[in-house]
Amino acid sequence: MLALSAALLVASAIQSATATIRFGCSQLVTQRFDPLVTPGIVSPHVHQIVGGNAFNLTMDPNEDYSKTATCTTCRFKEDKSNYWTAVLYFKHANGSYMRVPQKPNDQVGSTNGGMTVYYIAGYPPFQKVTAFKKGFRMIVGDPMIRTKAAPQRNSVESYAISFRCWDDPRGNSNNSPPGGGQDTAALPTKFCNGGIRSNIIFPTCWDGTSTDPEDHTSHMRYQTGTVDPGMGIIWQQGTCPSTHPVRTPTVIYEIAWDTAPFKSVWPKDGSQPLVMSMGDPTGYGQHGDYVFGWEGDSLQRAMDTCKDQFGTPEACRELTVLSDAEMNKCTQKPQVNERVEGEYLPALPGCNPVQNGPNPATMPANCGGSQPTATATSSTTVVQPTPTTSSTTVLVPQPTPQGPAIPKYGQCGGNGWTGSTTCVAGSTCTKLNDWYSQCT
């Protein structure tokens, strides 16, 4: 928060005319669901999800999730959207993996893990932005990449996804906007005393017609122009390209990873022990998914009227503020039959061997086991939060015999795929995106 506050104070008189809301969201569930990339089937890797409890395996774009959700893990009652990212794991010297917990970001309350979300109108000031519509969704980032060029001042997108190494979340290591200052595109290479913060900034220019193209990305673009590294892209004074002329709110995720529990077992040889859930030890494959779910015109009203320069929820009187207890009690039980957190695991969930790059990651031909099944219905039951160590007690998936035919829910194609494209009897190889085809 101090990072954004510092940027805002530079020109507070002008920027107070720019709409900003900033709020915490507690954890809804952690599991291998990704209904945008792999709708209806188990995802290749683990995600942490926040937002409305109508989140499910398919997320039909025709459904109004602001009405079907009965609660939300986010600060505003009107926001039943869903926000999700990959998960960070610590790799022990013995080769086992432990999920890195999340902690509340600065000045968001006592949320149970989760993340911080921003909606910002940005520059130039006084502009009107157009809120997203029912059925809108988008993705940013590529989970398969393992290298990335350094940020370029003439490329807004190159500043969009980064990490911050906190010496102290309220100290000098947090005195720049997300993506600016000392933030890096790769995971930090040292132990960070205050933890690590992920910064994920979505594009803000919409084509004005499509709410969800097949690739979930082509309807959105970043603004053009030059970036001031000291200010990042939040207040960058660029314009939208003519192909995507409609300015929307800038959506930002900040995830605070609590690395403190691993200090005593952190490698002494200078090696980097963190790996993202898709087998990415570089961090370049960090990505985020967004499904709109605000009630009625509530987001548009907030963007039109909530001008508090720090985005404080209580200052936005157009919206209903929930308590920490109300947010934290909105949870879902995992629906994938496997353990993903709370103890050291022998391997990353799914089929995700660590791949350092620099070539893009590929999925191995034989994963040594079948994919667990999941329930493809939405869950709207509010359950009391339970400790991480007991919230995902499940059975370990049973292995299947090796062979040329890919089992149901296994990968059978995609960019870089070198394994079999033949599925077991009763299953067909279905293309889900350019990087992943699955036997369904």
* Owner of token pair 């100290």: 171
In 3D, which of 98, 96, 103 has the Cα closest to residue 46? Answer: 98
DSSP code string of 201-218:
E---EE-SS-S--TTSST
Cα separation, 212 vs 287, in Å, equals 17
Beta bridge partners of 23: 117
- Give the list of residues 6+ apart from residue 52 with CB closer than 8 angstroms, or none: 28, 65, 66, 69, 71, 72, 73, 74, 79, 80, 81, 82, 293
| pLDDT for the residue numbered 401 | 29
Would you say how long the chain is, in residues? 440
Cα separation, 105 vs 194, in Å, equals 11
Q: Using pLDDT thresholds of 50, 70 and 90, give the confidence band for residue 377.
A: very low
In 3D, which of 247, 125, 250, 130 has the Cα closest to residue 179? Answer: 250
* Owner of token pair 């009391």: 384
Residue 203 has pLDDT above 90, yes or no: yes
Mean pLDDT, the chain, integer: 84
Least confident among 18-27, 56-65, 312-321, 412-421: 412-421
Cα–Cα distance list, 47 to 209, 211, 341, 388, 397 (Å): 29, 23, 11, 15, 18
- Paired tokens of 310: 């720090």
| pLDDT for the residue numbered 296 | 96
Least confident among 36-50, 314-328, 397-411: 397-411
- Mean pLDDT over 363-374 rounds to 60
Residue 103 has pLDDT above 80, yes or no: yes
Cα separation, 139 vs 437, in Å, equals 18
Strand boundaries in 144-257, DSSP class E = 161-166, 195-201, 205-206, 220-221, 246-247, 250-257
Residue 27 has pLDDT above 90, yes or no: yes
- Mean pLDDT over 267-288 rounds to 96
pLDDT digits (tens, 9 = 90+) for 383-392: 322 333 323 3
In 3D, which of 191, 348, 174, 182 has the Cα closest to residue 254? Answer: 174
Residue 359 has pLDDT above 70, yes or no: yes
| pLDDT for the residue numbered 418 | 63
Cα separation, 415 vs 255, in Å, equals 29
- Mean pLDDT over 415-423 rounds to 71
In 3D, which of 173, 144, 141 has the Cα closest to residue 158? Answer: 141
- Mean pLDDT over 85-112 rounds to 93
Is residue 206 within 8 Å of residue 248, measured between CB atoms? yes
- Paired tokens of 93: 């010297």
Count of Cβ atoms closer than 10 Å to residue 209 Cβ: 8
Cα–Cα distance list, 99 to 117, 184, 276, 345 (Å): 22, 22, 9, 9
| pLDDT for the residue numbered 153 | 85
pLDDT digits (tens, 9 = 90+) for 157-179: 989 999 999 987 665 656 677 77
| pLDDT for the residue numbered 433 | 59
Using CA atoms in the order 371, 376, 378, 381, what is the torsion angle rounded to 10 degrees? -60
- Paired tokens of 333: 């039980």
Is residue 388 within 8 Å of residue 339, measured between CB atoms? no
At 325, phi and psi to the nearest 5? -65, -40
pLDDT digits (tens, 9 = 90+) for 205-245: 999 999 999 999 999 999 999 988 877 788 788 899 999 99
| pLDDT for the residue numbered 252 | 95
| pLDDT for the residue numbered 429 | 86
Instruction: Select the more confidently predicted residue: 317 or 435.
Output: 317
Q: Using pLDDT thresholds of 50, 70 and 90, give the confidence band for residue 372.
A: low
| pLDDT for the residue numbered 223 | 92
* Rg over CA atoms, the chain: 21
- Give the list of residues 6+ apart from residue 193 with CB closer than 8 angstroms, or none: 166, 167, 168, 260
Instruction: Select the more confidently predicted residue: 278 or 377.
Output: 278
| pLDDT for the residue numbered 139 | 97
> In this prediction, what percent of the chain has a pLDDT beyond 70?
80
pLDDT digits (tens, 9 = 90+) for 119-139: 998 776 667 899 999 999 999
Residue 416 has pLDDT above 70, yes or no: no
| pLDDT for the residue numbered 398 | 31
- Mean pLDDT over 314-335 rounds to 95
Q: What is the pTM of this model?
A: 0.82
Q: Which amino acid is at 342?
A: G
Q: Which amino acid is at 300?
A: Q
Residue 7 has pLDDT above 60, yes or no: no
Q: Using pLDDT thresholds of 50, 70 and 90, give the confidence band for residue 62.
A: very high
Q: Using pLDDT thresholds of 50, 70 and 90, give the confidence band for residue 411.
A: low
- Give the list of residues 6+ apart from residue 135 with CB closer than 8 angstroms, or none: 61, 62, 211, 212, 292
Q: Which of 115-129, 237-251, 400-414 has the highest mean pLDDT?
A: 237-251
At 86, phi and psi to the nearest 5? -70, 170
Residue 380 has pLDDT above 80, yes or no: no
